[in-house]
A = this chain, B = another copy of it.
């Protein structure tokens, strides 16, 4: 049951990808800028994943921060701030008969942190 259903004029597939996009953009715009080191990366990944998972219609969430981007240079100022180049996020949503797998990753050929739709599936179809 969806108490917000009346606010959506769309198909189940459209709703599923809409919800996935909200979560991917949340991760980018909420967490980019957080100070991070190799030692703290795991706790940050976990907080990101939980922030995604507790939102409506999410069935799976995964966040990975590239440790190679976190090689600490010497001294106190050697840590990094999370940026989209280090981040891979995958989210799967389910709404009605639709299921969507979407992700965010830095795409070198575009020089751009792309949020994309990997698959939309409809169940109960022949």
Report A's interface with B, CB cutoff 8 A: 2-4, 7-11, 13-15, 17-26, 28-37, 39-40, 43-44, 46-47, 50-57, 73, 75-77, 79, 81, 83-84, 102, 107, 109-120
Contact = CB atoms under 8 A, between A and B. Distances in A.
B10 A17 contact: yes
Contact of A43 (B43, B102, B110, B113): B43
Contacts of A117: 7-10, 14-15, 18
Contacts of A83: 83
A113 B4 CA distance: 11
A3 B8 CA distance: 29
A72 to B, nearest CB: 9
B81 A84 contact: yes
A54 B32 contact: no
B51 A76 contact: no
A56 B73 CA distance: 13
Contacts of A102: 18
A43 to B, nearest CB: 5
A71 B18 CA distance: 27
